[in-house]
Structure 1
Amino acid sequence: MSQLIDKSIPSRSTDGRLARGDATRDRVLDAAERCFAATGFAAATIRQIAREADVTLGVIGFHGGSKEELFATVLARRTETLNALRTEALAALKARGEVTIRDLVDAYLTPYLEIASRGDPQWRAYAQLIARIVSDDQYYDKVRDLYDPVARAYIAEIKKLRPKAGAEALATVLTLTVSSMLSIVASRARIEGLSGQPTSDSPLAYRAILVEFCAGGIEAALA
């Protein structure tokens, strides 16, 4: 007597293939992230990424598409996490009531510092990649839709506190704040070289001085 099989329920073998597919996709994206961080978007090649991921060129195409599509996906998966954390932090501040510029700076910077301090080498690679991107205007069109909406939400809150501040000044102070954050996360070698003291392995250890530096700069610039 034949048995009826519910085809809507994946079999164990199907589950296994899906899991392996997800793992392979993650490996491809991780490898692409490292390659883009090490050499930049223009210099990295699909062949190089395939070697780094230990997969064939066809697997790269299947899971990542073109190099441009792969680049966008690498950025988007990190941005989704950061945007969610920053949006939640901003909502919590606004629900609390009175908000200061220091509060806004802390809410914007700390999620990134916390993630970067987990010791995940992929987030370090992402930090190095973003440090490359922000210094080159050619990448702005590729990333504006990922980063700008949440940045504008924070700028709007700063504007409420400094209503006379112009749009360019507001955009400038946030951009400089982001640059300071990325510098701390991507490399602290110069701090060690100038101070003659070993630096912390955790970017989060610099939270207090970074927040005070950026908040103080914003306060002075918009005064």
Structure 2
Amino acid sequence: GAIEQGASLLQLKDSKQFNEQILVRAAKHSEENDRITEAIKLYNLAGDYSTVVACLAQALSNTISRPSPEEKDRALEQPAVDIIRHYERMNRAAGKDREAVVRLLRIREAKDQIATGKPEVAIDIMESTELIPLSGDVAKITRRAEEFKDLHEALQRNLQAYLPLTMEALAGVHQKVKSSVIPDATRQMVSTVFATGEGRTDVCLDAYCPSTQVKVIDDLCGHS
């Protein structure tokens, strides 16, 4: 604020020039030096909202592929969540970059749920991304495979990260069901919950079979 008030001393005519000459330059310098959280805050102050989400998409894309997130990766996640929620309310920077950030954050959340032994929650999260078809519906699988080429580059590049993640979650849920000593009637109820439960469509225990998983992988990878 003090610098902006003294803009005339810096030979800056208005706030737009201040943003371009001071804030954006500082943001680019921070981004180039991998200080992403600092960079997005500066871009945001400069009103360069589209660059904020583009920067977030790139940064989150880089973290998803890592087996274990670094401390700086974790430090980025909450600011990313807060910014996206604010932008959604204010209708700022809508488009593929913002959509990619939302999906990448959900993928990270799904990873965390698997790590804490909650594969069924991870499946719900991955289903909400609409990246991987979770039923044996051939038409749906084919449609998602065809749509893959139009996804944000960050999502295309990370297919090899979130596809195995989804398969791991499916296997985890399947194992929980198989290891449960429950009568057939209850097992059928579980299947029905997966098929028609809250927030789920066309998902049943058959979708967890290896043959279906292989079909999903082959079709998606064949279009990547």
Both proteins in one fold, TM over 0.5: no
Higher relative contact order (CA 8 A, sep 6+): 1
Provide TM-score, normalisation by structure 2. Answer: 0.37
TM-score by length of 1: 0.37
